[in-house]
Structure 1
Amino acid sequence: MDYAEQDAAGGYAEGVPCWVDAMLPDVEGGKRFYGELFGWAFAERAGAGAGAGSAYGQYTLAHSDGLPVAALAPKTDGRMPTVWTVYLATPDAAALAERVRRAGGSMVREPMPVGPAGTVGLAADPEGAVFGIWQGGTHQGFGKQREPGSYCWTEVYSRDKDRVDSFYEGVFGYGGFDLDLDGVPFRTWSPPGAEAGPETAIGGRSLMSPATDGYSTPETPPHFLVYFNVTDADATAAAVTRLGGRVQMPPHDIPYGRVAVLRDNQGATFAVLQD
């Protein structure tokens, strides 16, 4: 972690992404897909995972180099989305949930304890983009990030940037920094106390439209996109196709590396970054 991402106790500062998980209809299939794609190994933990999936029973932790990097959880209701969720750290999940509501967001799932691991909740911003909140206990979050095979970035895709910016910057105290990425207005967010800019950013906001993000449709709801670091974005995109997934946005260069937006063989969308 960068200094700006740490709290006084050495954990994750509030608002910093600390965990990701995928809700899938077939966890065993997900293990085969991501195990081959990222080289992950897996261990099941009944009812004691870090994220929302733990509320539904088996929670399968993914490890890279023996360190926790993500989790897969079963969907128990077909109406649930097949999706990757990012969790933002907080020292007080109940207080954060109240701030979310006061700022115009909502709680999809109120904070609930997950044994000694911590406390989890699911929130939605004023446009409906869903993110998790995590108050760490024995599980603080990633054991590895920003290295190949692990989480490296997240951004929310919105249609009303002013409404969304004021929500996240009000709730988490982020410092915002505006960029123009090939004509797309983009804003990075840095933790409180850090000089706002790409060097300290822990996430960002982009605008969503087929003309700007290259993969959504007018019916696609606002959402978060989770990125994983890879050594070769083109080879990863080819592997996704071979494994039964699909490429939603082909590998292409941006100022910060080479990226691709992909969908796994069950429908969960994610992105990769080769830096």
Structure 2
Amino acid sequence: MAAFAQSAPCWVDVQLSDLEAGKRFYGELFGWTFRAGEGPRADALSDGKLVAALAAKRDGRMPTEWGVYFATDDIAASVARIRAAGGQMITDPVRAGDAGVLAQAADPGGAVFGLWQADGREGFEKQNEPGSFCWTEVYTREKERVDAFYEEVFGFLPTDLAESGAVGGPGTDESRVDFRMWSLAGTEPGPDTAVGGRSVITDAFPAVMPSYFLTYFTVADCDGSAATVERLGGRISAPPFDIPYGRMAVLQDDQGAVFAVLQEPVA
């Protein structure tokens, strides 16, 4: 049985201009250690378990950003669904050594995400614990088209949280956020089974701001993590604030890649 259910987020990586600087930044922030990956990449480990990868940009025009990958057991079929649903392929399926096959696509609003068909590497070896991935959400202006797209391509089951404003990105007024959570097919949809979500880019943001995925990492201390980011030369995009699922902040590393951290509430 595969380690990840069909359509579950299974991997994240970040494209950086300076790989060694990235290792120093995330090593101190999350306590990650690193080992050489395939090509100009470094695998990030937390407690000896794979949690992410850092990659050196091959082209300076590439964006400096975190990317998320969704698991698929048939990448060709997933690509066909993406095209049929109005998405576009950025990178057609390509083999990553003996680890698996990857592809990158854009949804109808332009947000980029990846597909991963595992072979030798399933994906995360640790998640939902300090120093590892816990959540992803897409920010878009094309709500209706994007909702239909992800439900058709990945079979996501929606739960709307327009009133509660469960999560939010930079500058979000959480009391008014239009947010949809995604649960995997075969589960009972709701916050307890959600693996990701969709938020809306409002008119409060510049019109040139593109759609994007925001990657979250669990931390033991949200405020401490935000302070560490500033000390390491990064920026705080949204200062720590409380949400129904803990305390979060939206941050930028010292090269401009945006991510979020979440401190889960004490049981």
Is the TM-score greater than 0.5? yes
- Look up the match of 2:37: 45
- Look up the match of 1:189: 182
Partner of 2:69, secondary structure, is strand
| Cα distance in 1 for residues equivalent to 2:68 and 2:2 | 20
CA deviations 1:74-118 (Å, max 9, x no partner) are 101111000000000000111111110110001100010111100
Q: Is the 8 A contact 1:24 1:72 kept in 2?
A: yes
Identify which of 88, 99, 103 aligns with 1:117. Answer: 99
Letter in 1 for 2:135: W
Partner of 2:179, secondary structure, is strand
Q: Give unmatched runs, 5+ long, in structure 2.
A: 166-174
- Look up the match of 1:236: 225
Quote the offset at 1:208 in angstroms.
Answer: 1.0
- Look up the match of 2:170: none
CA deviations 1:17-52 (Å, max 9, x no partner) are 000000000000000000000000000122xxxxxx
Letter in 2 for 1:136: A
Q: Is the 8 A contact 1:190 1:196 kept in 2?
A: yes
| Cα distance in 2 for residues equivalent to 1:66 and 1:115 | 22
- Look up the match of 1:14: 6
The question of 1:135 aligning with 2:82 is answered no
Identify which of 26, 49, 72 aligns with 2:54. Answer: 72
CA deviations 1:153-212 (Å, max 9, x no partner) are 00000112111100000111110000020111100000001011110000000011364x
Q: Give unmatched runs, 5+ long, in structure 1.
A: 1-8, 47-56
CA deviations 1:115-165 (Å, max 9, x no partner) are 110001101000110001000011000000000000000000011211110
| Cα distance in 1 for residues equivalent to 2:103 and 2:188 | 29
Partner of 2:148, secondary structure, is helix
Equivalenced residues, count: 253
- Look up the match of 1:153: 135
Q: Is the 8 A contact 2:108 2:142 kept in 1?
A: no
- Look up the match of 2:171: none
| Cα distance in 2 for residues equivalent to 1:130 and 1:194 | 26
The question of 1:223 aligning with 2:175 is answered no
- Look up the match of 1:203: 196
Partner of 2:178, secondary structure, is strand
The question of 1:257 aligning with 2:249 is answered no
| Cα distance in 1 for residues equivalent to 2:133 and 2:51 | 7
Identify which of 44, 67, 90 aligns with 1:108. Answer: 90
- Look up the match of 2:66: 84
- Look up the match of 2:169: none
Quote the offset at 1:58 in angstroms.
Answer: 2.1
Letter in 2 for 1:149: G
Which portions of structure 1, spanning 4 or more consecutive aligned residues, are displaced by more than 4 angstroms? none
Q: Is the 8 A contact 1:209 1:218 kept in 2?
A: no
Letter in 2 for 1:240: V
| Cα distance in 1 for residues equivalent to 2:207 and 2:72 | 33
Partner of 1:202, secondary structure, is strand
Partner of 2:59, secondary structure, is coil
Letter in 1 for 2:249: A
- Look up the match of 1:273: 262
Letter in 2 for 1:188: M
| Cα distance in 1 for residues equivalent to 2:80 and 2:11 | 21
Partner of 1:100, secondary structure, is helix
| Cα distance in 2 for residues equivalent to 1:218 and 1:229 | 31
| Cα distance in 2 for residues equivalent to 1:146 and 1:183 | 27
Partner of 1:185, secondary structure, is coil
Quote the offset at 1:218 in angstroms.
Answer: 2.6
